[in-house]
Structure 1
Amino acid sequence: MKIKAKPMGEYQTNCYIVTINGMDFIIDPGIGATAWVLENVTNPVAILNTHGHFDHVWSNAELQKKLNIPLYTPKGDVMLLQGNSWSPDLPPSKPDVEVEPNQEFDFKGIKVKFTHFPGHTPGCSTIEIEDAMFSGDFIFERSIGRTDFPYSSPQEMRESLEEFKKIPYDKTIYPGHGGTTTIKQEQQYSDYWIANL
């Protein structure tokens, strides 16, 4: 498995291309991501959103059209893809698959697992592919997603962190902003965040 990453736009939102068994998965194509993605894929099969915030989904529709591949978005965040007062200029996109909480998909033997961790947004999810977890804006290196946005919920974030603490294995975390970390590394800070939300 190869993972390419590039921070996009003024919020430096990480767009990822995961290549495995000759298939390319595009995760969170943000503002201005299209050209970079087109230069770095050879067999794209899906666009995957961790959540619906504009800086993670801006290039969804453009890539759907140019690559003719399906878009997978957590069901709870589909309403965020149509633009709103927070991001009125967002190019609207429509998922081909509205991902149910904790749904897993099989792409020719490659498992892609969405795990629902609401709080930052209603549908906020991590995406696991083999030994990698793409955490969007749920977990960062020594930080967590904000809960003061429209549709955010501090209580749901606390519950999500309690669930995150229970994960019995370790994987590398590739967050929506900043550098990589690991599940075990961030689990040790979970109680701090739960107490301070």
Structure 2
Amino acid sequence: MYEILVRPCGDYATNCYIVKHELGDIVIDPGKGALSFIKENSSKVLAILNTHGHHDHIWDNKLVAQEFNALLYTPKDDIFMLKNPFYGFLPSDDIAIAVEDKEELVFNGLKFTFHHFAGHTPGCSMIEFDDVYFSGDFLFERSIGRWDFEFSNADDMVNSLEKAKNLKDDFYLLPGHGNQTKVSLEKPHFDSWIRYIKQC
């Protein structure tokens, strides 16, 4: 059995998730200050997974990896974002393992599958686990990720929203910010978002 813990971290209240399992835990998106949350709730971190490379999601990558001797996995097209020291985080591109679209990672029987949904960032991904998508900054409750940042791309976001129409309706969405929701509740809004992006 497992349980999923969450705590908003840092200036942008970025959700850090811990998938707790008796044989070891998986951390998803350790933002600024996440290390203390993780140490309070875990004694054995097997791996760190990044949904994408924005600084508020990867800030404590290196600290967590060093504390627990854990492996770090990042979408391949966002690894370059892990080496920019401008924001003040410890670069972690040197320890990141590149993950491809649809790549499966298995830790003690727990399977995590990366699904590429570019637009917010080049490598922006959702991570499938059991009946959950950790949606990062692609999908939120009644909203989607911004496509006007550096390295964002509106055309990619449109294509990703079209692709997302094939997501499993009964899955939960655990986003990078805000409250959890369900795919079935967000799909009806995809076409409106697509039209809005095209008009911008």
Partner of 1:92: 91
Deviation larger for 30-39 or 94-103 = 94-103
* Distance in 2, Cα, partners of 1:103 & 1:41: 26
Partner of 2:80: 79
Q: Are the equivalent residues in 1 in contact too, given 2:55–2:87 (CA < 8 A)?
A: no
Question: What secondary structure does 1:120 align onto?
Answer: coil
Alpha-carbon deviation of 1:147? 0.5
Alpha-carbon deviation of 1:184? 1.1
* Distance in 2, Cα, partners of 1:4 & 1:190: 28
1:15-43 CA-partner distances (Å, limit 9, x unpaired): 00011353311000001111111111133
1:22-74 CA-partner distances (Å, limit 9, x unpaired): 33110000011111111111331100000000000000001111100100000
Deviation larger for 113-122 or 124-133 = 124-133
Partner amino acid, structure 1, of 2:183: I
Q: Give the unaligned 5+ runs of structure 1.
A: none
Q: Give the unaligned 5+ runs of structure 2.
A: none
Query: How does 1:143-162 map onto structure 2 within 5 Å?
Result: 143-162=143-162
Partner amino acid, structure 1, of 2:186: E
Deviation larger for 38-47 or 177-186 = 38-47
* Distance in 1, Cα, partners of 2:33 & 2:168: 37
Q: TM-score w.r.t. structure 2 length?
A: 0.93
- Kindly report structure 1 stretches of 4+ aligned residues shifted beyond 3 Å: none
Query: How does 1:128-147 map onto structure 2 within 5 Å?
Result: 128-147=128-147
* Distance in 2, Cα, partners of 1:164 & 1:120: 14
Question: What secondary structure does 1:127 align onto?
Answer: strand
* Distance in 2, Cα, partners of 1:74 & 1:130: 20
> Size of the alignment, in residue pairs?
195
Question: What secondary structure does 2:87 align onto?
Answer: coil
Q: Are the equivalent residues in 1 in contact too, given 2:75–2:100 (CA < 8 A)?
A: yes
Partner of 2:14: 13
Q: Are the equivalent residues in 1 in contact too, given 2:127–2:134 (CA < 8 A)?
A: yes
Q: TM-score w.r.t. structure 1 length?
A: 0.95
* Distance in 1, Cα, partners of 2:22 & 2:183: 25
Partner of 1:3: 4
